[in-house]
């Protein structure tokens, strides 16, 4: 059990259920033998993707694919442009800076009688200095660091533990720079649009910064989400570089294509670039608000109103909502008499949006799903959304039904139908392994967050704490389910991954707010599949 104290709050964190693949409780031996332990990144990758073809065959395939690789790298380089050279210089400066820290620490350790620690021997590849290097490289690498911290099934525990620091708030951009962006984007003085802008940010993430404000004229309380300066250019350059590396790795070892390495990088790139286009996020919010209005749900749930006259691609001005995350049980009890009823409302609204809205909210962690002061459910931050394809939804219906009925053979069959694979799957063995995984999830420990002091800032602290907790736990659980499926050669579309992750979030809320509720069997909850015969348009 770890006790952390941050910004006036104490977090008592019990060990996550699943720290590492070789510690999966009740997982069959056959699954363990197929999933890498992660003790060594290089060794686990080599063991998992060792060449299955003879040398001459692989060499011929490489020769055949070489023109496509060269063309792809050339085109990506053109798209990157001169920004790549600037970013290269920044990367060299980051390496020199962190390298200087390592040399300083090395000289101190060299004088110690206990010998040179392993961390110092590894140099910039050690967890500590690699994390520092990622932080110096900025937003893209911070997000990659968050992925490492959330993937204990892929990376050694020392790296997972160290990179959890990447979940901390990113350094704030000086308010003068935020003001300059606002003037540029809004085309004039800030005080013609806002009566007041709080210079102290409410939050500062790797990509954007959020400030509280009050509109001129209407005096509406709002929040302004501002894209950090230069972040889009940095993302394009960094993600293009990561893509080229992935292409080269697949070229050198074609077996890596089975892991869809390039496809994963493409998906990460598309997702991250969508997050920096606030016009798309504004459209996602308005689409969700339209769904709530069409379904008569505005008294049950809401999303922040967007103010188009002071919103652009880099600036998003929204209604300020006040509430608490769905993991803050004590505060929820002070707002409503039945936390279970509020959870059922959230479930019905979200399930209904799967088919009733053009996109569904695909990031319902505790920082984005609140119980508002007026008792409604508030859906925040629509930077990450998903869409359902007919094929995925048909399989997903069976999958959800099989979860509620604990029919693991039907679950295995639905996942096989949903996933792409180039080999036969032992459905019965797959079903047995899925049963073990879902049995382990039932034992998930709930995190406990205790606020040291109740003040106007307490809710902000609680939200920040729960975002970290959710990301670490839910990513771990999701990855364990997916890794078992991948051990049978299955590769799932992104939409399934998004849906699965949200269900795990809701599973956590259910255990905290309504321990006796079965969200897939309770008659008060309408899963989207039950709405097919209604007036909601099927996508």
Q: Is residue 64 part of a domain?
A: yes
Whether residue 23 has pLDDT greater than 60: no
Question: Token digits for 186?
Answer: 């809004």
Q: Using an 8 Å Cβ cutoff, are 50 and 61 in contact? A: no
Per-residue confidence band for 250, with pLDDT thresholds at 50, 70 and 90? confident
* Range in 255-259, 326-330, 406-410, 446-450 the model is least confident about: 446-450
Choose among 496, 482, 491: nearest CA to 153.
482
**Residue 42: exposure state from Cβ atoms within 10 A (0-12, 13-18, ≥19):** exposed
% pLDDT > 90, the chain: 25
pLDDT at 43 over 60: no
Do 112 and 255 lie in one domain? The reply is yes
Which of 203, 228, 199, 268 is closest to 138 using CA atoms?
A: 228
Write out the DSSP string of 444-482: PPPPEEEESS-STTHHHHHHHHHHHHHHHHHHHHHHHHH
- Strand ranges, E, within 309-368: 315-319, 323-325, 360-361
Question: How do beta strands 208-215 and 194-197 pair?
Answer: antiparallel
pLDDT at 403: 75
Higher model confidence: residue 517 or residue 453?
517
Q: Percent of the chain scored above 70 by pLDDT? A: 67
Question: Can you tell me the mean pLDDT for 211-238?
Answer: 90
- Beta strands, E only, 375-447: 377-379, 385-386
Select the more confidently predicted residue: 395 or 472. Answer: 395
pLDDT score at 398: 83
Q: Which pLDDT score, from 0 to 100, does residue 100 have?
A: 87
pLDDT tens-place string over residues 397-443: 788 788 778 888 888 888 888 776 666 888 888 888 888 877 765 55
In a domain, 122, yes or no: yes
Query: What is the tally of structural domains in the chain?
Result: 2
Q: Is the pLDDT of residue 268 over 90?
A: no
> What integer pLDDT is reported at residue 449 of this predicted model?
36
Distances (CA, A) of 123 to 36, 95, 102, 131, 210: 25, 11, 7, 12, 36
What mean pLDDT is reported for the chain?
74
Q: Which of 3-12, 153-162, 230-239, 378-387 bottoms out in mean pLDDT, i.e. has the lowest?
A: 3-12
Residues 269 and 406 in one domain: no
On whether residue 43 sits in a domain, the answer given is no
Query: Is position 198 annotated as part of the catalytic site?
Result: no
pLDDT at 209 (0 to 100): 92
**Does 190 reside within a domain?**
no
254 closest CA partner among 43, 52, 495, 20: 52
95-121 mean pLDDT = 75
76-80, 289-293, 327-331, 475-479 — which one is most confidently predicted on average? 289-293
Mean pLDDT of 79-107: 78
Across the range 368-391, mean pLDDT stands at 89
Joined together, the tokens standing for residue 460 give 């902000």
CA distance 26 to 190: 59
* Higher-scoring residue by pLDDT: 452, 518: 518
Residue at 367 is within a domain: no
Range picked from 41-55, 259-273, 484-498 for highest mean pLDDT: 484-498
Tell me the mean pLDDT in the region 171-178. 91
CA dist., res. 284 & res. 274, Å (int): 11
Instruction: Give per-residue pLDDT as tens, 45-87.
Output: 333 333 444 545 555 555 666 666 666 666 666 666 666 677 7
Q: Which of 238, 363, 433, 480 is catalytic?
A: 363
| Domain membership flag for residue 468 | yes
Asked if residue 156 belongs to a domain, the reply is: yes
- Higher-pLDDT residue of 506 and 69 is 506
Rounded to a whole number of angstroms, the distance between the first and last alpha carbons of the chain is 45
Candidate from 8-12, 424-428, 453-457 with smallest mean pLDDT: 8-12
State the pLDDT confidence band at 216, using cuts at 50, 70 and 90. Answer: very high
Higher-confidence residue: 232 or 465?
A: 232
Residue 383 lies in a domain: no
Q: What is the pLDDT of residue 27?
A: 32
Q: Tens of pLDDT along 471-492?
A: 555 555 566 667 777 777 777 7
Domain span at residue 438 reads 389-453+460-492
Least confident of 43-52, 152-161, 466-475: 43-52
Same domain, 397 and 262: no
Same domain, 243 and 109: yes
């Amino acid at each position: 059990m770890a006790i952390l104290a941050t910004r006036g709050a104490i977090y008592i964190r019990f060990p996550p259920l699943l720290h590492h693949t070789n510690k999966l409780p009740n997982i069959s031996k056959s699954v363990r033998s197929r999933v890498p332990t992660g003790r060594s990144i290089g060794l686990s990758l080599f063991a998992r993707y060792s060449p299955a073809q003879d040398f001459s065959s692989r060499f011929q395939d490489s020769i055949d694919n070489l023109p496509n690789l060269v063309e792809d790298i050339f085109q990506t380089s053109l798209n990157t442009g001169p920004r790549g050279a600037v970013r290269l210089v920044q990367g060299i400066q980051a390496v020199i800076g962190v390298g200087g820290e390592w040399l300083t620490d090395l000289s101190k350790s060299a004088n110690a009688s206990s010998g040179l620690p392993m961390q110092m021997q590894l140099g910039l590849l050690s967890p500590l200095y690699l994390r520092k290097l990622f932080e110096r490289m900025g937003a893209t690498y911070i997000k990659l660091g968050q992925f490492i911290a959330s993937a204990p099934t892929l990376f050694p525990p020392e790296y997972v533990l160290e990179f959890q620091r990447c979940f901390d708030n990113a350094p704030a951009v000086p308010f003068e720079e935020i003001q300059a962006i606002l003037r540029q984007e809004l085309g004039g003085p800030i005080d013609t649009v806002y009566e007041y802008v709080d210079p102290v940010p409410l939050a500062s993430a790797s990509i954007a910064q959020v400030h509280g404000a009050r509109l001129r004229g209407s005096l509406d309380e709002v929040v302004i989400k501002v894209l950090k300066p230069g972040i889009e250019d940095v993302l394009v350059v960094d993600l293009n570089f990561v893509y080229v590396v992935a292409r080269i790795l697949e070229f050198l070892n074609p077996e890596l294509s089975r892991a869809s390495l390039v496809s994963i990088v493409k998906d990460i790139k598309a997702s991250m670039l969508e997050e920096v286009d606030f016009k798309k996020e504004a459209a996602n919010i308005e689409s969700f608000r339209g769904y709530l209005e069409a379904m008569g749900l505005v008294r049950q749930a809401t999303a922040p109103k967007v103010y188009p006259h002071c919103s652009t691609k880099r600036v998003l001005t929204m209604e300020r909502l006040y509430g608490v995350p769905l993991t803050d049980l004590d505060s929820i009890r002070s707002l409503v008499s039945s936390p279970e009823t509020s959870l059922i409302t959230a479930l019905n609204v979200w399930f209904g949006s799967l088919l009733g809205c053009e996109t569904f909210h695909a990031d319902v962690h505790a920082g984005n799903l609140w119980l508002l002061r007026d008792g409604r459910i508030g859906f925040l931050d629509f930077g990450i959304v998903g869409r359902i394809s007919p094929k995925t939804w048909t399989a997903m219906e069976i999958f959800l039904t099989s979860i509620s009925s604990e029919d693991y053979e039907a679950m295995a069959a639905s996942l096989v139908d949903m996933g792409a694979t180039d080999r036969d799957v032992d459905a019965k063995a797959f079903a047995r392994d899925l049963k073990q995984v879902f049995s382990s999830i039932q034992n998930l420990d709930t995190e406990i967050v205790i606020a040291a002091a109740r003040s106007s800032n307490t809710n902000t602290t609680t939200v920040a704490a729960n975002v970290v907790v959710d990301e670490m736990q839910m990513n771990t659980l999701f990855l364990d389910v997916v890794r078992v499926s991948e051990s049978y050669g299955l590769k799932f579309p992104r939409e399934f991954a998004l849906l699965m992750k949200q269900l795990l979030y809701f599973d956590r809320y259910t255990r905290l707010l309504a321990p006796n509720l079965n969200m897939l069997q309770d008659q008060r909850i309408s899963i989207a599949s039950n709405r097919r015969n209604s007036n909601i348009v099927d996508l």
